[in-house]
Amino acid sequence: MTTYIRAGRPGRRDVLRLGLGAGLLSLTAARSRAQTTTKPDVVRIGYLTAARAWVVGKSDGSFDKALGVKVEWVPFPSGGPALSLLAAKQIDFAIFGNTPIVAGLSRKLPIQILGSPEIVATSERLVAKAGITTLRDLEGKRIAVAPSSTMAFALEALIRINKLDASKIKRLPLSQPDTIAAWKRGDIDATYINGPFWAELLADGGQQLLVSEQLQPSGVFVWNSAVVRSEFAEQFPETVVAWLQTVQAQFDRYRSDPEGVSRILAKDFGAPFEAVRNTLSGLRYPTFQDQLGPKYWGDGPVAAKDAPLIKALGDAAAFLAETGEIKRDDVPASFVPAVNYALLRRAFPS
């Protein structure tokens, strides 16, 4: 019986040849890509599958025009998958949350931070069922929060800052659409959730207890950073500069016409216009010039050690190490070198 089966299979040599062939093919492919030219063949931009103001440049080809190369847009549902895409070199640029970025840097993912164009203000909110009116009421309650999100980080910070008894608060890791279902069934008492999801909960009798912006005086910042693969930044610095300026141009466009940009994005993402407009207005958009100042990253030639966002990166790392998501030994001694100030300054000279 064994001989009968074997007759139909490819021989040992065929398999070897096939393997060798595939190996050689991938090697040559890798080599051709490594050739240094001033411009890449294609720029791959990763973006969150939620409406974000700068993505308005996707549908009208602004980035293709400004960069002078073919642009591919790669969606990702959250920061975790974005890290995987960067590690696999499937995207060159992305804008996503500071918590996953800290996790990536701790894992020695070769990426560099390019500022913080989106600061979470009111887009992430703590919403509770009617009857829960103060933060203290949360003790003994169940709070849903998307795992490995900036909201999870903010929730822990909120518990710490307000000296709530963490052991009495049950945190349930739930994706945001699932949170809505759990809320409707009465399986949870509160949730820290992003727009547009909270709109539905507030309409359902939910009470807003807090927005992320209110944590800023205590030094808790939640934001989205632009990142670039280090290898890409070394090879094509000019493209990075052009990309940054194009990102800023999209934010400028949003500032002058929030309704129009929201309408375009609503169409692009297939989301209700109201939801998109509310989500976008829940973020603050400091210009890159502002970001290179003392309120964010510091105004020196490199990021300042005691700049609020450098400190916040350290806090996020400490939080992740404490919860056991990353190894304490993996946390870099300083996040200052992770910010590519040279390219930021070149794109936005003071």
The answer to whether the CB of 237 falls within 8 A of the CB of 112 is no
Q: Is 80 in the site for other proteins (CB under 8 A)?
A: yes
* 173-202 residues near other proteins, rule: CB under 8 A: 173-175, 177-178, 181-182, 184-185, 187-188
* Contacting range for other proteins; rule: CB under 8 A; set: 27-35, 64-72, 101-109, 311-319: 101-109
**Residue number with CB closer to other proteins (104 or 115):** 104
Q: Is 315 in the site for other proteins (CB under 8 A)?
A: no
Burial environment of residue 222 by CB neighbours within 10 A (0 to 12, 13 to 18, 19 or more): buried
**Residue number with CB closer to other proteins (100 or 286):** 100
Q: Is 26 in the site for other proteins (CB under 8 A)?
A: no
**Residue number with CB closer to other proteins (72 or 231):** 231
Number of Cβ atoms within 10 Å of the Cβ of 21 = 10
Report in angstroms how near the CB of residue 27 gets to other proteins at its nearest: 11
- φ and ψ at 50, to 5 degrees? -140, 150
* 34-53 residues near other proteins, rule: CB under 8 A: none
Tokens of 113: 């931070």
Report in angstroms how near the CB of residue 181 gets to other proteins at its nearest: 5
Nearest-angstrom CA–CA distance, 245 and 241: 6
Q: Which of 46, 97, 100, 115 binds other proteins (CB under 8 A)?
A: 100
The amino acid sitting at 55 is: V
Name the pairing type of β-strands 124-128 and 207-211: antiparallel
Nearest-angstrom CA–CA distance, 160 and 168: 13
Q: Is 349 in the site for other proteins (CB under 8 A)?
A: no
**Residue number with CB closer to other proteins (268 or 315):** 315
Number of Cβ atoms within 10 Å of the Cβ of 326 = 19
Q: Is 144 in the site for other proteins (CB under 8 A)?
A: yes
Q: Is 321 in the site for other proteins (CB under 8 A)?
A: no
Helix (H, G, I), strand (E, B) or coil at 245: helix
The answer to whether the CB of 179 falls within 8 A of the CB of 192 is no
Name the pairing type of β-strands 42-48 and 93-97: parallel
Q: Is 83 in the site for other proteins (CB under 8 A)?
A: yes
Q: Is 147 in the site for other proteins (CB under 8 A)?
A: yes
Cα–Cα separations (whole angstroms), residue 270 to 2, 273, 277: 56, 9, 13
* Contacting range for other proteins; rule: CB under 8 A; set: 26-34, 100-108, 116-124, 199-207: 100-108
Q: Which of 69, 164, 172, 249 binds other proteins (CB under 8 A)?
A: 172
Helix (H, G, I), strand (E, B) or coil at 338: helix
Residues that bind other proteins (CB under 8 A): 2, 78-81, 83-84, 87-88, 100, 103-104, 107-109, 144, 147-148, 171-175, 177-178, 181-182, 184-185, 187-188, 320, 323-327
